[in-house]
Amino acid sequence: MQRTETLNSRAVRKASKLNRKDGIHLLLLATPFVLFTLAFSYVPLFGWIYAFFDYKPGIPLQQTPFLGLENFRNMFDDPRMGPVLANTLALSLLSIATAPVPMLLAILISEVRSGWFKRLVQTVSTLPNYISWIIVFSLAFSMFSTEGAVNSIMMKTGIGNPPVDVLGNYDRVWTVQTLLLLWKSAGWSAIIYLAAIVGIDSEQYDAAKVDGAGRMRTIWHITLPSIMPTFIVLLLLSVSNLLSAGFEQYLVFSNVMIADRIEVLDLYVYRLGLVTGDYSYSTAVGIFKTVISVLLLFSVNILSKKVRGQGIV
Q: How many domains does the chain have?
A: 1
In a domain, 2, yes or no: no
Q: Is 137:183 a contact under the CB 8 Å cutoff?
A: no
In angstroms, the CA 250 to CA 103 distance is 25
Q: What is the pTM of this model?
A: 0.83
In angstroms, the CA 182 to CA 310 distance is 29
pLDDT exceeds 80 at position 78 = yes
In angstroms, the CA 313 to CA 294 distance is 12
In a domain, 9, yes or no: no
Q: How confident is the model at residue 193 (pLDDT cuts 50, 70, 90)?
A: very high
| pLDDT the model gives residue 177 | 93
Q: Is 312:233 a contact under the CB 8 Å cutoff?
A: yes
| pLDDT the model gives residue 14 | 57
Q: Which CATH number characterizes residue 190's domain? A: 1.10.3720.10
In a domain, 29, yes or no: no
Mean pLDDT across 81-89: 92
Per the model's pLDDT, the better-predicted residue between 14 and 45 turns out to be 45
As a whole-number percent, the residues of the chain with pLDDT over 90 amount to: 27
| pLDDT the model gives residue 4 | 53
Mean pLDDT across 304-309: 74
* Best mean pLDDT range from 113-117, 166-170, 180-184: 180-184
**Segment 259-292, tens digit of pLDDT:** 899 999 999 999 988 888 888 999 999 999 988 8
| pLDDT the model gives residue 29 | 83
What angle, rounded to 10 degrees, do the helices at 279-308 and 224-240 form?
A: 150
In a domain, 39, yes or no: no
Mean pLDDT for all residues in the chain: 85
**DSSP per-residue codes, 212-246:** T--HHHHIIIIIHHHHHHHHHHHHHHHHHTTT---
In a domain, 23, yes or no: no
Give me the domain span that covers residue 197.
80-308
